[in-house]
Amino acid sequence: MRARAIRDSANGLTRASTPAPLKPTAVPLLNVQDLRTHFHTRNGIYRAVDGVSFSVERGETLGIVGESGSGKSVTCYSIMGLIPQPPGRIVSGTALFDGIDLLNCSPRQARSIRGKRVSMIFQDPMTSLNPFLRVSEQIIEPLLIHENISRPDALERALTMLEAVGINDAAKRIHYYPHEFSGGMRQRVMIAMALITKPELLIADEPTTALDVTVQAQILELIGKMQRELGMAVIFITHDLGVVSGLCDRVQVMYAGRIVETADTRTLFKTPRHPYTRALQRSIPALQSKGAELYTIPGLPPDVSKNIPGCAFAPRCEFATDLCTAANPELVAIDATHAQACLRVQANETLACS
Amino acid sequence: MSEPILQLNDVKTHFPITRGFLVKRHIGTVKAVDGVNLTVRRGEVLGLVGESGCGKSTLARTILQLVPTTGGTVVLNGRNLATSSARELLAARRDLQMVFQDPYASLNPRMTVFATLAEPLLVHRVCAPADVAARVAELMRLVGLAPRFMQKYPHEFSGGQRQRIAIARALALEPKVIVADEPVSALDVSIQAQILNLLAQLTKKMNLTLIFIAHDLSVVKHISDRVAVMYLGKIVELGLAADVIERPRHPYTRALVSAIPTPNPDTERTRQRIVLAGDPPSPINPPAGCAFHPRCAYAQAQCKLAAPPLVDDGPTREVACVRLADLP
């Protein structure tokens, strides 16, 4: 399992021009290649996602971390077909889900996958549930659309699902409206709704950011449990490195619409190579001794409406040289599981922190 | 040890729940803050943590008298703010200022940075009108903003810069106490580090007393000298920051600390986590006795009888749990 993940991520990185004739079992569940999602606005073109390639294995948990505006949500919204077009435009890229290109297939084909085999949970359960409908209606909706099932049977499944996500007294509460649930309970309802079709891939976009830590612990536990039961793959978007470390098999770090580093979780925390990943780790209090001055990344994240020459992190990077703004860095594999996009690291220079 | 600057004695802030349009009937009370005793010393950074709804923001607002106190006293520099007149409060706020969570909402979008920072100076007449510009420039430099941005509006700044403006506004009157309500929660990690460094540096430089509210325990541990943990309107544990977070005593603090994911893949996967069942109870109808007992793994019959007071547990720690002696 792990070995397969390694091989495929390495394949993804070299961007093989001809797809390797792999055995069906070796095909990753989701393979995104060179995804570019731009937003055309009056103020220019925002390159929210600018050349992102990655793959997700069956049953694997992939973490995507980055600050706001780094393109981590837009990447997943593009895969789910949730980008409003216009102003958004998927300029290039493919997203092969089990051999079907979600970005370029017929709408009918995409609909048969999205919401059934791939589903998504969102950050804010209050705004992503319809306040006018009872949760029962909302939970069975994907079933009624995707499966040939009668309403009573669908309700039966919804009830089982609500119990599985840990809602007590589900038989009564299934007929409640969203406002009658607390934040953590609403997120459980969202998870029940996303998982009722037994998806093969769950995309979770900051599902615990709006919740308290004690409730966050419950929800993370729940996602892990459902993943083990259903054997699904999970893409977990977050900005919290702590959440990633406990949950994810592999992590990729995004900055300004590009992936700057990807590695298995342990490697990323133990031996981060890209200066941005290292700076992030030095700036969180949890990894520093108490009271010590935190490392601060100077400046601001770049304006993605401007064309950024070379490495997007170069203006804020303590190691940047003229070369960094001249050449475009590509993700290059360090070893089988680890790849990063810093030119100086790729040139085997040692970058010692100040 | 320095002298106490702010003392809260049995502070209560209750909000009535009424029903009816013309004839308002009183149908219940939200006991947002329910009997808080706290002494804050000069130059100290006190962290205040707890889940949402535990009353930490209401406590902050009560200290500043932004909401009326139901009972108890808030004593700043020997003066009880809870019974002060509006005029006395205005004067007291020269020593007591607040920084809010959301720098997008707490700055007036129609006021330039100059107008925002000049307002407290003019209201309190601490500065001759001719000197205001110089003082505003000084404040901006203090928080790491270039004075040439003085005539810009809040929307022209990023979240971190806006929070710097909000901090500069709070510092304008050179207060003795600043209450910061989740000042870094809305910010990205790289920006959060900048604001934390700034707050730490300013408190040291100006001998400020800071009451720092956050839900992120690693942030609180980093910046605070002492930490108070709140649950349902009461303080359940109080002690030195590193002690409370590394060796929590109260069952609730233990659960809270263990719920926090740590950015270390090795320990994170193996450590034993206490996952609390259910949500915090409603402050309208809190459980009898210790408010935490329905979720507590150590609860016994006696916990349902009376709310436990904060009692000393060693020289620097206070814990509100009757079963403290029996806890492992």
Contact B74, B83 (CB under 8 A): no
Q: Select from A184, A242, A283 the Cβ nearest to the Cβ of B260.
A: A242
pLDDT at A354: 60
Q: Rounded to whole angstroms, how far apart are CA atoms B179 and B106?
A: 14
Residue numbers in chain A where pLDDT is lower than 70: 1-26, 353-354
Going by C-alpha positions, the residue among A249, A202, A266, A189 that lies closest to residue A229 is: A202
B56 touches chain A (CB under 8 A): no
User: CA B6, CA A46: separation in Å to the nearest integer?
Assistant: 50
For residue B279, the chain A residues in CB contact (below 8 A) are: 182, 184-185, 215
- What gap in Å lies between CA B200 and CA A194, rounded to an integer? 43
| Interstrand relation of A88-97 and A30-41 (parallel, antiparallel or unpaired) | antiparallel
- Spell out which chain A residues touch chain B, with contact meaning CB-CB distance below 8 angstroms: 67-68, 182, 184-185, 212-218, 220-221, 239-246, 265-266, 269-270, 279-281, 283-288, 290-291, 293-297, 300-301
Amino acid letter at A38? Answer: H
Three-state SS for A213? helix
The pLDDT tens digits for A262-301 are 999 999 988 899 999 998 888 888 877 777 888 888 877 8
8 Å CB contact of A214 and B273: no
Number of cross-chain residue pairs from A and B with Cβ atoms under 8 Å apart: 116
| Gap between the Cα atoms of B192 and B182, Å rounded | 11
**Under an 8 A CB cutoff, do A294 and B219 touch?**
no
CB atoms within 10 A of CB B146: 9
Contact: B273, A217; criterion CB under 8 Å: yes
Question: In 3D, which of A344, A339, A251 has the Cα closest to residue A12?
Answer: A339
Question: Could you give the ipTM of this predicted complex?
Answer: 0.76
Rounded-to-integer distance, Cα A296 and Cα A316, Å: 10
Provide DSSP, B123-191: HTT-S-GGGHHHHHHHHHHHTT--GGGTT--GGGS-HHHHHHHHHHHHHTT--SEEEEESTTTTS-HHH
* Residues of chain B neighbouring A301 (CB-CB closer than 8 A): 188
Is the Cβ pair A285, B221 closer than 8 Å?
yes
Looking at residue A4, what is its pLDDT? 45
Query: Dihedrals φ, ψ of A126, to 5°?
Result: -75, -40
Chain A nearest-CA distance from B51, in A, is 6
State the smallest CA–CA distance between residue B137 and chain A in angstroms.
20
pLDDT per residue rounded down to tens, chain B (328 residues):
578 999 999 999 998 888 887 788 888 888 889 889 999 999 999 999 988 888 888 999 999 999 989 989 999 988 899 888 888 888 888 999 999 888 888 899 999 999 999 999 999 988 888 899 999 999 998 888 888 889 999 988 888 889 999 999 999 999 999 999 988 887 888 788 888 998 998 999 889 999 999 888 888 999 999 999 999 889 999 999 989 988 999 999 998 888 888 888 777 777 777 877 767 777 778 888 888 988 888 888 888 888 888 889 888 899 999 888 888 7
Q: Within A231-330, where are the H helices? A: 241-247, 265-270, 275-283, 322-326
Q: What is the DSSP letter of A285?
A: G
Q: Would an 8 Å CB–CB cutoff place B328 in contact with chain A?
A: no
Distance from CA of B271 to the nearest CA of A (A): 10
- CA A125 – CA B34 distance, rounded (Å): 30
Nearest CB among A279, A281, A290 relative to B221 is that of A290
Query: Does an H or E element contain B261, and which?
Result: none
CA separation for the pair A257, A69 (Å, rounded): 8
What is the helix (H) or strand (E) element at residue B241, kind and residue range? Answer: helix B241-246
Instruction: Please answer whether residues A119 and A202 qualify as being in contact, where contact means their C-beta atoms are separated by less than 8 angstroms.
Output: yes
Instruction: State whether residue B251 is helix, strand or coil.
Output: helix
Strands B25-41 and B4-19: antiparallel
Residue of A167, A265, A294 best to disrupt the B interface, most CBs of B under 10 A = A294
**How far apart are alpha carbons B167 and B113 in whole angstroms?**
12
From A295's Cα to the closest Cα of chain B, the distance in A is 7
The residue of chain A nearest to residue B271, with distances taken between CA atoms, is A246
Packing angle of the helix pair A135-146, A151-164 (nearest 10 deg): 120
Contact B279 A215 (CB under 8 A): yes
Instruction: Give B318's DSSP letter.
Output: E
For position B229, what pLDDT does the model report? Answer: 94
Which two tokens mark A60?
Answer: 């694997």
Nearest to B252 by CA among B268, B272, B230: B230
CB contact under 8 Å between A265 and B265, yes or no, is yes
Helix (H) or strand (E) segment spanning residue B283: none
Range list of β-strands (E), chain B: 4-19, 25-41, 45-49, 71-76, 79-80, 96-99, 177-181, 209-213, 226-231, 234-240, 311-312, 318-319
Q: Which domains, and CATH codes, for chain A?
A: 1-17+26-117+201-211+227-354 (3.40.50.300), 124-196 (no CATH)
CB contact under 8 A, B276 and A214: yes
Query: Which among A218, A243, A288 is the nearest to B261, CB-wise?
Result: A243
- The whole-angstrom distance between B253's CA and the closest CA on chain A is 11
pLDDT at A5 (0 to 100)? 43
Q: How near does any CA of chain A get to the CA of B310, in Å?
A: 23
